[in-house]
Amino acid sequence: MTRAAVGIVLLAVSSWTAFGQVDAYRLRAKYGLPLGRETFAVLPGIEIVVDYGLGWQACRIQLPSGTKEILDDVVPLWVRGKEGTRMTTRSGTNSFSVVDYERMTIAESSSGGVATGIIVTFKDPACPKASPEF
């Protein structure tokens, strides 16, 4: 194989891998700027994850279950606003409870009777619409 042929093969291979990759430029061009995300260690072994909107307002907070004190500290009742509906869904050993408030929704999941996580989703119009992920 000649040097030119080797060069063409290497160029083709490098082009294929470049086209097959997803990078920040492509994602931003398609979806806009990414949301900010921070993880806070609130106690040893307990972390909360906060997703922010473009204006750096909190849009979503993920907490481990069994952290009601932390939940109440981060989003006290007066911040939540008026309580609306409560709903619980069960499927086998899994359950999903949602409490809708004036300014946010708080969802908690459990599996096999063991709580698995809490997600607070703010109703700020500047926040992207997303469903809770557990």
Q: Domain-by-domain residue ranges, the chain?
A: 1-31, 35-134
63 by DSSP, 3-state: which? strand
Pairwise CA distance, residues 1 & 108, whole Å = 63
Smallest CA-to-CA distance from 120 within 103, 102, 105 is with 105
Q: What is the pLDDT along the chain (134 residues), one digit of tens a residue?
A: 565 554 555 555 555 445 556 777 777 777 766 668 888 888 888 899 999 887 888 899 999 887 888 889 889 999 999 999 999 998 888 888 999 999 999 999 888 877 788 999 999 888 876 544 54
pTM of whole model > 0.75? no
One-letter amino acid identity for 98?
V
* Cβ pair 74, 104 in contact under 8 A: no
Residue 64 host element (H or E): none
Position 82 scores a pLDDT of: 94
Smallest CA-to-CA distance from 88 within 79, 98, 78 is with 98
48 by DSSP, 3-state: which? strand
